[in-house]
Amino acid sequence: MTDTGISAPSGALLNAPDMVKQALAPMIVQVAKTFGVSPLRQMREIFSMRRRVQKLSGSEYYALRLFDPAKSTADKRAFLGQAGGNAINTAMNPPMAVPSCAFVGNKLLYTQLLAQLGIATAQTQALVSAFRDAGQLPVLRDAAAVSDFLRNAAVYPLFGKPQHGSLSEGSVRIEACDGNTLRLGNGTTQDVDAFGAEVMDRYAGGFLFQTALSPDAQMADIAGPAIGCVRVVTVNDGSGPKPAYAVWKMPAPAAMSDNFWQEGSLLAHLDLSTGKVLTCLRGTGLKAEALDTHPVSNVPVVGAMLPHWAETVQIAVDAHAVFPEFGICGFDIAVTGEGPKILECNDNPSHSLYQMAADRGLMNDDLAPLWDAVSVSQKKQVARLKAEAKKAR
């Protein structure tokens, strides 16, 4: 994961992060001055970590603070870049063994299935699509229909997001509609018709309006009224789904979603057995800050126990069990006053969140055996499928 900054939207919908890599030269100089690590040693480490399974870029080296001399060589080698994480995920979710990836990536169909199975999730009020149908759900075919829905039929607050996508791109929280004006979750306003046109221009293929959820009161006291999802990553090595790790993504005060690339957002590493906050981080790389209390509410974060914890872990395990062919899943879960609700499932979860929050590499001694066991199980499954396909020919 590279250091990124929010790209200021020209409309209401959140733009993707600016993925332009930072210049490395200033960071090389600052690390040399602050940590006493020579530029030559930094470059040697970067080149070494770029190869083999780590696949770390120079920007990721600094974002993950791998220049820190307090980290041993073994500790540094446990970290993976985004490309390395993708490779591990593919080994655990090989396409031949996991043909249901496309279905799970469809946020409308996936959450509707969970609801039918009695697994709590967000309620979809309407789908925006120029060509797709959605059974009994209202479908908004054009900008005028979007505007009419927002003025007359929507139940507020609303959360809008693309049917497919990641990094919260295209997301928006709408608190209310006052005549021709939408009040957004970040305190700004938007003309209803302009918003409808923007949605159709960017996401005519599929955009969801869902009932916005509110966090449990304990979490709201710490991090404010916007939902900050708990990311629970689960694995299945053939013996059934089980949790691997969990982090809490806390949104910035003026943000409408909880992605860590938005300035001011926080990450917390959670104890998997209890839901206790072990660490809290703001920023990455040289700007990273370890915090004990929330910078806005001044409520202690480290040591806090997240509510509904056993249910939060269990709902992730239950959802994974619906598609047991997956070797790994990353669930974004809203912990509300009514309990946890699954918002979406990621078949290629970014492990940078864990590595930053825990300050440990993904291939550490606790987790590496899990990934290995899942990969071995999936290799066997692929071999069985290939043998069956050959026999059927």
Using the predicted structure, report yes or no on whether residue 88 has a pLDDT greater than 80. yes
Q: Which residue from 212, 188, 304, 296 is spatially nearest to 252, judged by alpha carbons?
A: 296
Residue 253: predicted pLDDT: 63
Using the predicted structure, report yes or no on whether residue 24 has a pLDDT greater than 90. no
Using the predicted structure, report yes or no on whether residue 169 has a pLDDT greater than 80. no
Asked whether residue 174 falls in the same domain as residue 38, the answer is no
Left, alpha or beta for 176 (phi > 0: left; psi -120 to 50: alpha)?
A: beta
* End position of a domain, from candidates 211, 235, 266: 211
Asked whether residue 183 falls in the same domain as residue 234, the answer is no
Q: With cut-offs at 50, 70 and 90, classify the pLDDT of residue 10.
A: very low
List of E strands, 200-259? 207-211, 230-236, 241-250
Total-model pTM = 0.90
Domains identified in the chain, total number = 3
Asked whether residue 226 falls in the same domain as residue 353, the answer is yes
Residue 1: predicted pLDDT: 30
Asked whether residue 164 falls in the same domain as residue 230, the answer is no
Share of the chain above pLDDT 70, in %: 90
Asked whether residue 188 falls in the same domain as residue 290, the answer is no
Query: CA-CA distance, 295 to 78, in Å (whole number)?
Result: 31
Asked whether residue 135 falls in the same domain as residue 69, the answer is no
* End position of a domain, from candidates 178, 211, 244: 211
Q: Which residue from 78, 64, 57 is spatially nearest to 31, judged by alpha carbons?
A: 64
Ordered DSSP codes for 134-202: -TTS-EE-SHHHHHHHHHHT--SSEEEEESS-STTTT-EEEEEEETTEEEETTS-EEEHHHHHHHHHHH
Average pLDDT over residues 318-334: 97
Asked whether residue 172 falls in the same domain as residue 269, the answer is no
Asked whether residue 227 falls in the same domain as residue 203, the answer is no
Residue 23: predicted pLDDT: 66
Domain contains 388: no
Average pLDDT over residues 9-37: 70
Asked whether residue 149 falls in the same domain as residue 180, the answer is yes
Instruction: Give the Å distances, CA to CA, from 195 to 145, 183, 192, 258, 281.
Output: 12, 11, 5, 22, 34
Query: CA-CA distance, 120 to 334, in Å (whole number)?
Result: 10
Q: With cut-offs at 50, 70 and 90, classify the pLDDT of residue 262.
A: low
The answer to which of 5-9, 28-32, 100-104, 252-256 has the lowest mean pLDDT is 5-9
Asked whether residue 173 falls in the same domain as residue 306, the answer is no
Domain contains 232: yes
Q: With cut-offs at 50, 70 and 90, classify the pLDDT of residue 138.
A: very high
Q: Which residues pair with 178 in a beta bridge?
A: 181
SS3 243: strand
Contact (CB, 8 A) for 138 and 183 = no
The answer to which of 164-173, 223-232, 244-253 has the lowest mean pLDDT is 164-173
Residue 165: predicted pLDDT: 67
H and E: helices and strands count for the chain = 13, 14
| Single-letter code of the amino acid located at 353 | L
Query: CA-CA distance, 59 to 22, in Å (whole number)?
Result: 7
Query: CA-CA distance, 269 to 248, in Å (whole number)?
Result: 7
Q: With cut-offs at 50, 70 and 90, classify the pLDDT of residue 256.
A: very low
Residue 164: predicted pLDDT: 81
Domain contains 333: yes
Q: With cut-offs at 50, 70 and 90, classify the pLDDT of residue 7.
A: very low
Using the predicted structure, report yes or no on whether residue 87 has a pLDDT greater than 90. yes
Residue 128: predicted pLDDT: 95
Using the predicted structure, report yes or no on whether residue 67 has a pLDDT greater than 80. yes
Domain contains 221: yes
Query: CA-CA distance, 378 to 384, in Å (whole number)?
Result: 10
Domain contains 290: yes
Share of the chain above pLDDT 90, in %: 79
The answer to which of 200-204, 271-275, 374-378, 387-391 has the lowest mean pLDDT is 387-391
Q: Which domain holds residue 28?
A: 24-89
Residue 265: predicted pLDDT: 83
Asked whether residue 228 falls in the same domain as residue 321, the answer is yes
Using the predicted structure, report yes or no on whether residue 33 has a pLDDT greater than 60. yes
Domain contains 112: no
Average pLDDT over residues 352-368: 97
* Greater pLDDT, 93 or 390: 93
- The CATH number for 339's domain is 3.30.470.20
Q: Which residue from 158, 150, 262 is spatially nearest to 213, judged by alpha carbons?
A: 158
Query: CA-CA distance, 344 to 254, in Å (whole number)?
Result: 23
Query: CA-CA distance, 196 to 352, in Å (whole number)?
Result: 35
Domain contains 14: no
Query: CA-CA distance, 200 to 146, in Å (whole number)?
Result: 8
**Residue 32: its H or E element:** helix 24-35
SS3 309: helix
Using the predicted structure, report yes or no on whether residue 249 has a pLDDT greater than 90. yes
Burial of 152 (0-12, 13-18, 19+ CB in 10 A): exposed
Instruction: Give the Å distances, CA to CA, from 154 to 39, 188, 343.
Output: 57, 19, 19
Average pLDDT over the chain, rounded to an integer = 90
Query: CA-CA distance, 205 to 340, in Å (whole number)?
Result: 29
* End position of a domain, from candidates 160, 176, 211: 211
Query: CA-CA distance, 356 to 283, in Å (whole number)?
Result: 9
Domain contains 140: yes
Can the peptide bond before residue 241 be classed as cis, meaning omega within 30 degrees of 0? no
Residue 151: predicted pLDDT: 96
Asked whether residue 81 falls in the same domain as residue 130, the answer is no
Average pLDDT over residues 167-172: 76
